[in-house]
Structure 1
Amino acid sequence: MSSPLASNDLDTPLDLTGSIDGLGNGADTDIDKEDRRAIAAAIEAAKPTADGPAAIAWANPLSGNTGTVTTINADGGVSGCLAFRTTANTIHGVRAYDGTACRDAFSALSVITLARTRS
């Protein structure tokens, strides 16, 4: 709620910022950086082609999280990157995520985006 301009209403709070959504990207809390490394390593080891393999399992022994990469699109829209879909079995349950993995400066595959699948 805010006070109109040129108003003498001093009882109305001057909160002009509104509310900020605190949920953020669920993947950021569910899948940590070590999980993302495990996903990238599994994709790298599978050496995907344009058709991609049917399924690639990944596991992070540190977090206990596991999953399966089910779709890899070598034509991810960005040169040298792969679009993929993975499941993740975490403490929060089993969920699906869409992601992008690209080569870093050292030519290692790295997950750069990951978000819960909207479907």
Structure 2
Amino acid sequence: SGKKQSIDVGTLSLQPNIKHEKSMAMEPYYEVNLHEDFADIIIEAPGVEKGHIILSLSEDGRKIKVLIEINFVSIEKEIRLPFESTMDDHLLEVNNGIVSIIMKKKKS
């Protein structure tokens, strides 16, 4: 077989080809800063608007699910909290593509 195969180098990627069940959405950078009675969660989501963010809390109040939609692409992030929280007095702010979520520790 002396046939040469041409490869479009524009489609080559050094990234591992990982298939995701729900979508091939990129994994956003995030960090969680813990304080005595609250957690400050920062997520990088360039181009997002406040109305495109859905927050939900697990039944035990220890895991927050953040759903962000940017240009019809859904990014979902689950973040475990080191304490029990409620959705009653959370704060959500978006500033220049930085999402800031403050989850307060549930008063016992």
> As a proportion of its length, which structure holds more helix?
1
What TM-score, normalized by structure 2, do the two folds share? 0.33
| Larger RCO, structures 1/2 (Cα 8 Å, 6+ apart) | 2
> As a proportion of its length, which structure holds more strand?
2
What TM-score, normalized by structure 1, do the two folds share? 0.31
